[in-house]
Chain A
């Protein structure tokens, strides 16, 4: 790949630094955040605790989605049992109440869990923008190791502080195993 074409080239997705260990990645993420980079992403084969926070990411939307889904499930469950048993098709069983709420606890609970579980899975995938089979980061050098035994940090070219020269030098100063350029297109 030719380094000279990098300047202001829209085809550069970012610079990718490769690390040997989870701790190396964590230290690099902290340093990158401290340096003022904003469009940064770390990649690791397993969750490395503290990396997302080190990048300044503290989102807690998933728990709220799950909570709201669970509440929806609970209301749907109790509503279904109330409406079918008391309004649409009341049936007198030995004079017992139609809205026998203690008897409605199990189904309400199951509906709560069912909806919340779908909220967790669908919410997590949707916020992550998955499924997305292709992504420029997959063009990164040795990036197939990101799911195996290597740790990567990418500073994206959309970052306001991104500069082909300085960013590369900065990444090299982080004890990275290797630093390479990631392009949008596959051909380079």
Chain B
């Protein structure tokens, strides 16, 4: 018997049994009447509409070319790279929650990991669109792959960080998708067995692949799952590090800095937790999942956000310090230009959103207030976008030669594609919430079985429930 951990007591609140947990999570999928009506349809419709904007922006881009964007000669990396880095960063919280917290045996993760992993996958899909389109000719994007001289008469240049990025992002997407799918197989089996209608029974039966919960299967499953988590942990750290090397390996003032990899990873986790909370706060209410995504979860995510926010803020301070300490004229100018040049508003808004606003999370009252927390998360998401805007644009628009200085602004098509991907993300997330189990049922049940200890878990009866009925 595993020793009872006092921390586990409140991860599932209220009176429950395995049956009620299955019902509150799994039946959201099987019984579509339990979906929250308009509260599902409205965000879904917004997402679907913006998705059409994305399709329009992509179509225009393919027909006309990257000239419809605001990119120009000094600033060749505009919205495309800003949004790419922003989306990739958002995905990182999912892997952090599912892999790193698993390795640290933080069992509270069990009720948020599926959800966060879904976010990872959709965020990486959104991210992938941007560099693909930024190539200008997305139909020959396969040139990025090492397909050999028969196709291309040459090979990719592996000494370039841009090629590393292709490998990092495609590996990240593939491994995240595998991790997500493997995690869902036992839940698919549960849904298969609970389904009463033919279509869900057959559909979940196919994806469950005949999972029957045999002890030998679980034995291998847990080995594979744990090692996958172990593989994902360095992977997630490597992905944003490699993204940051796209910048750091160049010689541009403001980019050529060794602090970039850790600073980017911290920022990614920061933005990712903000996005997880942005979804978790309304969804736990709409879907009546407050008993599994408890206030404790919300508060702890807020604390992680505060901690990573401080790392990021430290990164900003270090950048300023080194700009002056380095004694390099270009670095010093870059920093003064960021603070007082034509993009001063972006820099100071970024400091406000990412550095100052999250400081109110020191207060427990704020962390317990989902309304304020939601607003803070919005600030963080905007702040993290501004951070990438500042890094990309202010470094490029005035580099070494004053004769080649310029200004950069996103055009309507830049904004259309950006908001379009937000729509795509919403669209995917709300489809996921409707048709797949958004909380890992078997892990929540395992957590529950540890909470109730040796007591028999009679189905649907309160014999067990009384054991865990006491709230915080």
Task: Tell yes or no: B222 within 8 A of A by CB.
Answer: yes
B215 x A130 contact (CB < 8 A): no
Distance between Cα atoms of A124 and B154 in the complex (Å): 37
CB distance from A63 to the nearest CB of B (A): 6
CA distance A151 to B452 in the complex (A): 16
B446 touches A85 (CB 8 A): no
Are A118 and B158 neighbours in the complex by a CB distance under 8 Å? no
| Interchain CB contact (< 8 A) of B216 among A57, A100, A120 | A57
What's the Cα separation between A104 and B242 when bound, in Å? 12
B3 contacts chain A at the CB level, 8 A cutoff: no
Of B216, B220, B235, B455, the residue contacting A21 (CB under 8 A) is B455
B445 lies within 8 A of chain A by Cβ: yes
Closest to A150 in B: B459
A103 to chain B, nearest CB (A): 5
CB-contact partner of B182 in A55, A70, A93, A121, under 8 A = A121
Determine if B295 is an interface residue (Cβ-Cβ < 8 Å).
no
B405 interface contact, C-beta 8 A = no
| Cβ-based interface call for A149 (8 A) | yes
Among B67-75, B184-192, B351-359, which stretch is in contact with chain A?
Answer: B184-192
Is residue A188 contacting chain B, with contact meaning CB distance below 8 A?
Answer: no
- Taking a contact as CB atoms closer than 8 A, the residue among B215, B222, B456 that contacts A20 in the complex is B456
B46 touches A (CB below 8 Å)? no
B220 touches A130 (CB 8 A): no
- Residues in B with CB closer than 8 Å to A63 are 223, 227
Question: A95 vs B341: C-alpha distance in the bound complex, in angstroms?
Answer: 39
A44 at the binding interface (Cβ < 8 Å): yes
Chain A contacts with B in 13-54, Cβ cutoff 8 A? 20-24, 29, 41-49, 51-52
B211: chain A residues at CB < 8 Å are 130, 147
- The closest CB in chain B to the CB of A83 belongs to B155
**Within residues 73 to 106 of chain A, which ones have a CB less than 8 A from any CB in chain B?**
80-81, 84-85, 88-89, 91, 93, 96, 100, 103-104, 106
Contact B223 A62 (CB under 8 A): yes
Q: Which of B171, B174, B212, B222 contacts A146 (CB 8 A)?
A: B212
Which residues in window 360-389 of B have CB below 8 A to A? none
Interface presence of A145 (CB below 8 A): yes
With contact pairs A46-B442, A117-B178, A149-B18 given, residues A124 and B220 touching in the complex (Cβ less than 8 Å): yes
Report yes or no: B164 in contact with A106, Cβ–Cβ below 8 A: yes
- Which of A91, A130, A132, A150 has the most chain B CB atoms closer than 10 A to its own CB? A130
Nearest CB in chain A to that of B163: its residue? A107
Residues of A within 8 A of B175 (CB): 113-114, 117
Query: Do A133 and B442 contact each other (CB < 8 Å), given the known contacts A51-B215, A121-B178?
Result: no
Contact indicator A52/B216 (Cβ below 8 Å): yes
Q: Which of B215, B442, B456, B457 contacts A41 (CB 8 A)?
A: B215
Please determine whether A110 and B457 come into contact, CB atoms closer than 8 angstroms.
no
User: What's the Cα separation between A46 and B224 when bound, in Å?
Assistant: 15
Q: Does B322 contact A (CB under 8 A)?
A: no
Q: Is there an interface contact between A113 and B193, defined as CB atoms closer than 8 Å?
A: no
Contact bitstring A106-147, B, C-beta under 8 A = 1, else 0: 110111011011101101110110111111011000001111
Contact of B219 with A52 in the complex, beta carbons under 8 Å: yes
Tell me, rounded to whole Å, the shortest Cβ–Cβ distance linking B375 to chain A: 37
Q: Is A148 an interface residue (CB 8 A)?
A: yes
Tell me whether A12 is interfacial, beta carbon within 8 Å. Answer: no
Count the A-B residue pairs with Cβ separation under 8 angstroms: how many? 213
Q: Which residues of B contact A42 (CB under 8 A)?
A: 214-215
* Closest partner residue, chain B, to A19 (CB atom): B456
Contact with B along A53-74 (1 / 0, CB 8 A): 0010101111100100010000
Q: How far is the CB of A41 from chain B (nearest CB, A)?
A: 5
Interface string of B215-259 (1 = CB under 8 A from A): 111111111100110011011001000100100000000000000
Inter-chain contacts of A124 with B (CB < 8 A): 182, 220-221, 223-224
Q: Are the CB atoms of A147 and B192 closer together than 8 Å?
A: yes
Q: Are B235 and A113 in contact (CB under 8 A)?
A: yes
Interface pair A107/B164, CB less than 8 Å apart: yes
CB–CB A110/B171 < 8 A: yes
Q: Does B149 lie at the interface of the complex (its beta carbon under 8 Å from any beta carbon of A)?
A: yes
Question: Complex: how many Å from CA A84 to CA B153?
Answer: 11
Is A135 a contact partner of B231 (Cβ separation < 8 A)? no
Pairwise interchain contact B214-A84, C-beta atoms closer than 8 A = no
Q: Mark B41-70, 1 if CB is under 8 A from A, else 0.
A: 000000000000000000000000000000
B146 at the interface (CB under 8 A from A): yes
**Nearest-Cβ distance from residue B215 to partner chain A, whole angstroms:** 4
Asked if residues A130 and B210 are in contact (CB atoms below 8 Å), the reply is yes
Knowing A85-B158, A107-B164, A117-B228, the reply to whether A45 touches B190 (Cβ < 8 A) is: yes
- Whether the pair B446, A128 counts as a contact (CB closer than 8 A) is no
Given contacts A124-B220, A145-B193, whether A46 and B443 have CB atoms under 8 Å apart is yes
Contact of A138 among B168, B212, B449 (CB under 8 A): B212
Known: A52-B215, A103-B158, A124-B223. A116 touches B231 (CB 8 A): yes
Which residue of chain A lies nearest to B458 when distances are taken between CB atoms in the complex? Answer: A20
A: residues with CB less than 8 A from B are 20-24, 29, 41-49, 51-52, 55, 57, 59-63, 66, 70, 80-81, 84-85, 88-89, 91, 93, 96, 100, 103-104, 106-107, 109-111, 113-114, 116-118, 120-121, 123-125, 127-128, 130-135, 137-138, 144-150
16 pairs, A vs B, C-beta closer than 8 Å: A23-B454, A41-B214, A41-B215, A61-B220, A63-B227, A66-B227, A80-B158, A84-B158, A107-B163, A113-B232, A121-B224, A124-B224, A130-B217, A133-B205, A137-B212, A137-B214
- Closest 9 interchain pairs by CB? A149-B18, A131-B209, A84-B155, A52-B219, A124-B224, A42-B215, A46-B446, A47-B218, A144-B193
* Extra contacts besides A60-B223, A114-B175 (18): CB < 8 Å: A21-B457, A24-B456, A47-B446, A59-B216, A62-B227, A96-B159, A106-B245, A107-B158, A113-B238, A116-B231, A120-B224, A121-B178, A131-B210, A133-B209, A137-B212, A138-B212, A144-B194, A150-B459
